Amino acid sequence: MVSTPFSRLANLVAGTLLLTTADTSGRYWPKVGVSARDVPALAQVIDQKTFNVLHKVPSPAVANGRSQFIPPGTTKESLFAKPFHVYDEEFYDIIGPNPTLTLLNQSGTNPRFHEAPVWSPINDEMFFAQSAGDPAAGTGLKKSAMIQKIALSEVTTAVSSQRSANGTVRVQFVAPTPEIINPNGGTNYRNRILIVGEGQGDSVAPAIYLMHPNAPYNTTVLLDNFFGRQFNSINDVAINPRSQEIYFTDPTYGYVQDFRPAPGVQKQVWRFNATTGAVGVVADGFNMPNGITFSPNGAFAYVTDTGIIQGNFGDNFTFPSTIYRYNVQDDGTFESRKVFAFLTPGVPDGIHVDTKGNVYAGGGDGVHVYNPAGKLVGKIYVGGTSANFQFAGKGRMVILAETELYFATLAAEGAFPGQMY
Ligand SMILES: *[C@@H]1O[C@H](CO)[C@@H](O)[C@H](O)[C@H]1NC(C)=O
Ligand SMILES: *[C@@H]1O[C@H](CO)[C@@H](O)[C@H](O)[C@H]1NC(C)=O
Ligand SMILES: *[C@@H]1O[C@H](CO)[C@@H](O)[C@H](O)[C@H]1NC(C)=O
Ligand SMILES: *[C@@H]1O[C@H](CO)[C@@H](O)[C@H](O)[C@H]1NC(C)=O
Ligand SMILES: *[C@@H]1O[C@H](CO)[C@@H](O)[C@H](O)[C@H]1NC(C)=O
């Protein structure tokens, strides 16, 4: 073993004893951590041991859920230069030998690339929505956020081999009939695209819409009330893969962003059976229930709580920035809420799983990737907020980063990004 070249040794003992290092007392400790084996060109290992002790740790006024943490020995530029950050060697299988990250478009100050990414396999297109309620978008009360799409056929190998292909892919506006008001979440459903809207003012209630993926984007409203009462501002939606029922989250972002009235119902997770029309609640006890998804076999549901962000009421860093996991019973009810992960910087907003059950959440510096036990194994770093992202089948991902649109390639395959129920 002694004469084995380092990279081979690392492969043999990956994750255990890699090399030794002297601490300040001169004693040698085994360096346990991520192996440096065959690090892909656009990846870098982030050794968490290098910042377990910082000696000077800034106060919460400086280092909090809004601030970017730049690990010692790195810079924002070096983090972005190799944007696939390996926190645990399990990430190598997720990214594969040659992951790529490409900037597709920048929209200046207007957050056009925000939420509701839905991959439509019929035309190989990715739909998504502009931010509703962000003052920089001018959306919310006066006008609705827009739905847009890109054709993945335009994202060629030539495009993805570059770090910036700014402007080479068309971003097209989608105008459904009737209009979808302040869209914020979406998923595939019955060969159509299901989109949830946050509503507008007192009179446009939040709703679940079903949109045809082809122009003229004929749309049907599926649900807009609970026994005559408005929802607050429906935020995100997922389909239970075992029952095909529609599950959605209803925080109060429309209210705290000044485009919906004071909340009239508890912030909770609902389910809707589109066959019978039955609407019920599966979980409450949230501050701001936000993203939702199911594990590939439907045994678990993941719900994010973005309570830290209170819109015009400011941030409160004592509130959740948390992914919760539930056991999903055969009858579709949720049981045994468990804390799955707490995320920094930012909040875990959109959430998706791959076919192996790894969990991906959009955060304040990019996409954070957790193994099924809730361990952070890696990040796709974009240097700013990614509220949501979506797989486009195997090995492709579109990342929405507010004023930036990215395309990534990696080894993993999304669990049901384009599944047609
Ligand atoms: C992308 O294009 C926009 C608009 O032309 C420009 O403002 C921006 O600097 C470009 N960004 C990069 C990284 O090239
Ligand atoms: C981004 O997309 C829009 C819409 O297609 C386009 O007008 C704009 O030029 C694109 N940005 C760049 C930098 O090309
Ligand atoms: C679109 O129009 C057809 C024909 O009127 C209708 O049957 C369908 O439900 C509409 N909605 C969607 C989402 O396709
Ligand atoms: C809806 O409810 C009915 C009756 O309980 C059930 O048979 C069906 O599987 C449920 N799911 C969907 C998606 O309709
Ligand atoms: C955060 O929320 C807690 C609990 O409601 C409250 O006591 C505290 O004053 C809040 N902090 C800020 C900065 O709003």
**Interacting residues of 339 by C-beta distance below 8 A, sequence separation 6+:** 322, 323, 324, 325, 374
What is the per-residue pLDDT across 132-182, written as a single tens digit (0 to 9) for each?
A: 999 999 999 999 999 999 999 999 999 999 999 998 999 999 999 999 999
CB 263 within 8 A of CB 199: no
CA-closest residue to ligand 5 atom 1: 316
pLDDT of residue 33: 63
Q: Among 164, 171, 172, 173, say which to mutate for ligand 2: greatest number of ligand atoms within 8 Å of CB.
A: 171
Q: Is the CB of 166 under 6 A from ligand 2?
A: yes
Q: What are phi and psi of 3, to 5 degrees?
A: -90, 0
Average pLDDT, the chain: 91
Ligand nearest to the CA of 287: 5
In order, the DSSP letters of 183-252 are: EEEEEEETTEEEEEE--BTTTB--EEEEE-SSTT-BEEEEE--BTTBPPS---EEEE-TTT--EEEEE-S
Band (86; pLDDT cuts 50, 70, 90)? very high
In this predicted model, which residue has the larger pLDDT, 27 or 80? Answer: 80
CA nearest to 222, candidates 157, 271, 291: 271
Q: What is the mean pLDDT of residues 254-275?
A: 97
> CA 345 → CA 100, 125, 229, 381, distances in Å?
23, 30, 36, 12
129: pLDDT strictly greater than 60: yes
Domains defined for the chain, CATH in brackets = 1-38 (no CATH), 84-413 (2.120.10.30)
Tell me the mean pLDDT in the region 63-87: 97
Closest ligand to residue 308's CA: 5
Please state, in angstroms and rounded to a whole number, the distance separating the CA atoms of residues 159 and 101.
Answer: 10
Q: Which residues contact 277 (CB under 8 A, 6 or more apart)?
A: none
What pLDDT does 416 receive?
83
Mean of the pLDDT values across residues 61-86? 97
> Is residue 164 within 6 Å of ligand 2 at its C-beta?
no
Ligand 4 centroid to residue 276 C-alpha, Å: 7
Q: Does residue 316 line the site of ligand 5, with CB under 6 A?
A: yes
Give residue 420's pLDDT band: very low, low, confident or very high (50, 70, 90): low
Residue 351 has pLDDT above 70, yes or no: yes
Alpha carbon of 216 to ligand 3 centroid (Å): 11
Q: What is the pLDDT of residue 419?
A: 74
Question: What DSSP assignment string belongs to 276-292?
Answer: T--EEEEE---SSEEEE
Residue 244 Cβ inside 6 Å of ligand 4? The answer reads yes
Place of tokens 């579109």: 398
| The pLDDT of residue 122 is above 50 | yes
> Each residue of 274-328: pLDDT tens digit?
999 999 999 999 999 999 999 999 999 999 999 999 999 999 999 999 999 999 9
192 CB within 6 A, ligand 3 = yes
The beta-strand segments (E) located in 258-416 are 268-272, 279-283, 289-294, 300-305, 322-328, 334-342, 351-353, 359-362, 366-370, 376-381, 388-391, 394-401, 404-413
* C-beta atoms surrounding 80 within 10 Å: 17
Q: What is the pLDDT of residue 417?
A: 73
Query: Mean pLDDT lowest for which of 26-30, 222-226, 278-282, 351-355?
Result: 26-30
Residue nearest (by alpha carbon) to ligand 1 atom 14 = 166
Residue 44: which H helix or E strand, with range? strand 43-45
3-class DSSP state of 336: strand
Q: Kindly list the protein residues whose Cβ atom lies closer than 6 A to any atom of ligand 1.
A: 103, 106, 164, 166-167
- 15 pLDDT more than 90: no
Average pLDDT over residues 27-41: 66
245 lines ligand 4 (CB under 6 A): yes
The 8-class DSSP code of residue 159 comes to H
Query: pLDDT by residue (tens digit) across 387-418?
Result: 999 999 999 999 999 999 999 999 999 998 77
* Percent of the chain's residues with pLDDT above 70: 91
From the CA of 106, give the closest atom in ligand 1: 1
Residue 5: pLDDT above 90?
no
